[in-house]
Structure 1
Amino acid sequence: MRNAAGNGLTGHRPSPRHVQWHWATPQAEIILASGDLAGILRFYRRVHGLNQTELGELLGYDKTYVSALELGKRCLIDVGSRRHVCDQLRLPPHILGVTDVADTDHRAMLQFGESTVRLAEVARQSGHAAEAVSELWPLVARLEARVEEGHTERDVLHLLARARVGLGVALGNVLPEERLSTAAHWTAKSLDLVEYFGDPGMTSYALRMHGNELRKARLRGAAVERLRHAAALAPDDEARAAVLPLLARAAGALGNAELFDRVVRETDALLLTVQHSSLFNPFSLHEIRLRGLIATGRADVATRLLKHSPVPTTAVAPQWRVIELVTVAHVQLLAEDRTGSAESLSVAVREATTQRLPHQLQRIMRTANGRLPDVHEAAVQALDRMRHEMAA
Structure 2
Amino acid sequence: MGSRCQACGVIISRYASEPVCPTCAASNSTEQVPVHVAAPIASVIWLWATPEATTAIATRDLPTILRTYRRINRLSQTAMAHVLGYDNSYVSMIETGKRAITDVASRRHIAARLGLPAHILGVTGTDDAEYRAMLKFGDSTVRLAEIARQAGHAVEAVNELWPLVARLEARAAEGRLERDSLILLTQARVALGVSLGTVLPEERLSSAARWTGHAVTVASRLDDQTFYAHTLRMHGNELRKAGHVGAGVARLEQSLELSSQPAEIGGTLAFLCRATGELGDAVKFDVALAEYRRLLDHNTGSGLLFQPFTLREIELRGLLGTGRVAEAGRLVSVSVGSPSAPQWRIIERVTVGEVFAAVNQPADAANAFADAIESAEHHRLPHQIQRTIRATARSGLQDLTHEAQAALERTRSLLAPQAPE
Tell me the TM-score range normalised by the shorter chain. 0.7 to 0.9
Correspondent of 1:154 among 179, 182, 189: 179
Residue 313 (structure 2) pairs with residue 279 (structure 1) = no
Secondary structure of residue in 1 paired with 2:337: coil
Partner of 1:319: 343
Greater relative contact order structure (CA < 8 Å, 6+ sep): 2
Q: Is the 8 A contact 1:242 1:280 kept in 2?
A: yes
Partner of 1:192: 217
Q: Is the 8 A contact 2:263 2:301 kept in 1?
A: no
Partner of 1:238: 263
Cα deviation, 1:140-163, whole Å, max 9, x if unaligned, reads 000010111111000000000010
Correspondent of 1:364 among 383, 388, 392: 388
Partner of 1:388: 413
Cα deviation, 1:191-215, whole Å, max 9, x if unaligned, reads 1110111111001000000000011
Residue 233 (structure 2) pairs with residue 172 (structure 1) = no
Secondary structure of residue in 1 paired with 2:298: coil
Larger Rg: 1
Cα deviation, 1:31-58, whole Å, max 9, x if unaligned, reads xxxxxxxxxxxxxxxxxxxxxxxxxxxx
Q: Is the 8 A contact 2:329 2:356 kept in 1?
A: yes
Partner of 1:181: 206
- How much does 1:103 deviate? 2.0
Task: Specify the code of the residue in structure 2 equivalent to 1:355.
Answer: H
Partner of 1:121: 146
Partner of 1:42: none
Q: Spell out the pairing of 1:24-39 with structure 2 (5 A cutoff).
A: none
Distance 2:153 2:250 in 1: 30
Residue 345 (structure 2) pairs with residue 305 (structure 1) = no
- How much does 1:306 deviate? 1.2
Bigger fraction of residues in helix: 1
Distance 2:347 2:175 in 1: 43
Correspondent of 1:288 among 302, 311, 314: 314
Secondary structure of residue in 1 paired with 2:297: coil
Partner of 1:94: none
Partner of 2:168: 143
Q: Is the 8 A contact 1:241 1:274 kept in 2?
A: no
Correspondent of 1:132 among 157, 162, 176: 157
Q: Is the 8 A contact 1:214 1:220 kept in 2?
A: yes
Q: Is the 8 A contact 1:200 1:235 kept in 2?
A: no
TM-score (norm 2): 0.67
Using the aligned pairs only, state the percent identity: 49
Task: Specify the code of the residue in structure 2 equivalent to 1:339.
Answer: A
- How much does 1:273 deviate? 2.3
Secondary structure of residue in 1 paired with 2:415: helix
Cα deviation, 1:78-115, whole Å, max 9, x if unaligned, reads xxxxxxxxxxxxxxxxxxxxxxx932221111111111
Distance 1:227 1:265 in 2: 16
Residue 396 (structure 2) pairs with residue 334 (structure 1) = no
Correspondent of 1:269 among 286, 294, 305: 294
Secondary structure of residue in 2 paired with 1:316: coil
Q: Spell out the pairing of 1:66-105 with structure 2 (5 A cutoff).
A: 102-105=127-130
Partner of 1:228: 253
Distance 2:313 2:344 in 1: 9
Partner of 1:343: 367
Q: What RMSD in Å do the two structures reach over aligned CA positions? A: 1.2
TM-score (norm 1): 0.72
Q: Is the 8 A contact 2:266 2:305 kept in 1?
A: no
Distance 2:219 2:269 in 1: 21
Any unmatched runs of 5+ in structure 1? 1-100
- How much does 1:391 deviate? 4.1
Secondary structure of residue in 2 paired with 1:271: helix
